[in-house]
Structure 1
Amino acid sequence: MADFEPIVGRYLKLEIDGVLQRIYVEEAGHGIPLICLHTAGSDSRQFRGVLNDTRVTSRYRVIAFDLPWHGKSSPPAGWQNTEYRLTTDAYIQTILAIADGLELEKPVVMGCSIGGRIVLHLALHHPHRFGALIGLESAAHNEAHYDISWAHRPDVHGGEVCAALVSGAMGSDIPEADRWETLWHYMQSGPGIFKGDLFFYRLDGDLREDIAKIDTGRCPLYLLTGNYDYSASPADTLEVTKSVKGAYFTEMTGLGHFPMSEDPSRFIQQFLLPVLDKIEIDAHEHSAS
């Protein structure tokens, strides 16, 4: 039997920092806008579980997009003459441009890994733009624990190397099919894209000096980190909560660096739904007042 999923995909053309971009966007559901940000070197397919879960989409308009240079969002014209490097400013401007382009009012943003880091930047610099922020595998800084030069060499398969580098950061008892689908997305990454994303993750996006300036009174901040994640560990996220008064933190037992794709069912049921319930309740109470 043929069975269409409820996800709708479209291309959004918009100018970001003076450059015309063609961004691939998928969405499903209705209600409070929920923007989902994928990890370094991957794309929005990581959120297929969230996009297909009616417990979420019955109340939230889930929106997931591929960053420029990722997935179905091709690089802009002239890319062959440049080196891809994700910067904090470019990342923020992309998120704001898409929220404006889709005419979203006070959306919730949920990001993982590099997305979990940029969520902290949004909390610091643009809290008034968002209804709530959810950081998955969030840390204020990431120390290099492998040689990234292997991700972009002419004598190795960059995609397979990227998948190998991240494969150990997942839970030990996650579904086998979900594990390999998560790695498949990494195997398809464009040349130099994982390396370019880590420029933000390791260098440009370092937030240690300013992390304590985040005011959760202006925008609620929820942090969820898998206990199998050694890249942004629960200890790293706890350091954030020590500096950010009012931030909510939950350690996700059995999950790693890619909770929404490595075990969507466990992630949504045990960890995401309680956060979304609280955000929805708070939104209703705010509108009633």
Structure 2
Amino acid sequence: MTAKIEPIVGRYVTFDIAGTAHRVYFEEAGSGIPLVCLHTAGADGRQYRHILCDESITSRYRVLAFDLPWHGKSYPPVGWQDAPYQLTTQRYLETILAFCDALELERPALMGCSIGGRIVLELANRHADRFRALIGVEAADFQEPWYDTAWLHRGDVHGGEVCAALVSGLIAPQAPAEHRHETLWQYMQGGPGVFKGDLHFYRVDADLRGTLHGIDTATCPLYLLTGEYDFSCTPEDTLRTADAIPGARVTIMRELGHFPMSEHPRQFRSYLMPVLDEIEQQ
């Protein structure tokens, strides 16, 4: 068997969020236009490993995927044990912008999935001038909760297994078994209460209905890509959201669910590449 070394490089960067230092892990590969990638709730940047290893992307884009604080290889800040983790809209925005500033990224493109897709809409609404283009994957202004967060942080159940079980139905049936189980393994490794804390943002603190009419897609193009099998952020949710944003580009992706970049990377690639081609030509 021939050894294979992937081109991904992992590093840590320390920067302030709300006045507190955070040590954040990120992976990158490639050169060219910066493309910042935001993972889903309760997971980490490993979801983007297939994009980081795709030479047809990294030959044109500097792909960067960071783990939110409390996630993956990123540590919580000092004193984390004194209060439960809870992600808010403001903290999420500050984290993304601080990461871009720390790496001196000038008007990067940015792609986020699920909670990352929801915050893409806020970035388009509040900070469009900071980005070359925004890609919301499984993104909508609001979704009706279909889950009970009480099960996500309990002493009598295995939190990681419960998290993976909760999201398992969101993966399209066409996803290759290898990638399906890899996606679920990432959820099994989340820290205690982290998935629940992320869903505070998704359920409580980020209802964007009626607030997005001011988005200017001429300043920053907005692409919305949603899988046809996603029942958390349904195609109807995304289409409804796009109706309120003149110029938003919507694609409903066949044979994909809520985690397209990790559950079926080859199928997702067929939808992502035309978007990246457009962004490169702008």
TM-score per shorter chain, which class?
over 0.9
Matched residue type, 2:7: P
Which residue in 2 is equivalent to 1:111?
A: 112
C-alpha distance in 2, partners of 1:89/1:4?
38
Which residue in 2 is equivalent to 1:285?
A: none
Which residue in 1 is equivalent to 2:186?
A: 185
C-alpha distance in 2, partners of 1:149/1:43?
22
Matched residue type, 1:130: F
C-alpha distance in 1, partners of 2:225/2:93?
21
Which residue in 1 is equivalent to 2:149?
A: 148
Equivalenced residue count is 281
Secondary structure (helix, strand or coil) at the match of 1:144 reads: coil
C-alpha distance in 1, partners of 2:266/2:30?
18
List, as ranges, runs of 4+ consecutive aligned residues in structure 1 with deviation greater than 2 Å.
Answer: none
Which residue in 2 is equivalent to 1:38?
A: 39
C-alpha distance in 1, partners of 2:3/2:12?
25
Secondary structure (helix, strand or coil) at the match of 1:256 reads: coil
Report how far residue 216 of structure 1 moved. Answer: 0.9
Which residue in 2 is equivalent to 1:233?
A: 234
- 1:56-205 residue pairs with structure 2 within 5 A? 56-205=57-206
Instruction: Compare 225-234 and 204-213 and name the one that shifted more.
Output: 204-213
C-alpha distance in 1, partners of 2:247/2:115?
22
Which residue in 2 is equivalent to 1:23?
A: 24
Matched residue type, 1:281: Q
Matched residue type, 2:257: G
Residue deviations 1:1-41 (CA, integer Å, cap 9, x gap): 22210000000011111111000010000000000000000
For structure 1, the 5+ residue unaligned runs are 283-289
Does 1:54 pair with 2:55? yes
C-alpha distance in 2, partners of 1:179/1:48?
14
Report how far residue 77 of structure 1 moved. Answer: 0.8
Which residue in 2 is equivalent to 1:271?
A: 271
Residue deviations 1:38-70 (CA, integer Å, cap 9, x gap): 000000000001000011000000000000000
Which residue in 2 is equivalent to 1:224?
A: 225
Report how far residue 74 of structure 1 moved. Answer: 1.1
Matched residue type, 1:274: P
Identity of aligned residues (%): 62
Secondary structure (helix, strand or coil) at the match of 1:255 reads: coil
C-alpha distance in 1, partners of 2:137/2:202?
14
Which residue in 1 is equivalent to 2:244?
A: 243
Q: TM-score, normalised by structure 2?
A: 0.99
Report how far residue 209 of structure 1 moved. Answer: 2.5
C-alpha distance in 2, partners of 1:211/1:159?
35
C-alpha distance in 1, partners of 2:149/2:122?
24
Secondary structure (helix, strand or coil) at the match of 2:213 reads: helix
C-alpha distance in 2, partners of 1:173/1:247?
28
Instruction: Compare 209-218 and 73-82 and name the one that shifted more.
Output: 209-218
Instruction: Compare 98-107 and 211-220 and name the one that shifted more.
Output: 211-220
Matched residue type, 1:99: C
C-alpha distance in 2, partners of 1:274/1:42?
26
Secondary structure (helix, strand or coil) at the match of 1:211 reads: coil
* RMSD of aligned Cα (Å): 0.6
C-alpha distance in 1, partners of 2:236/2:58?
32
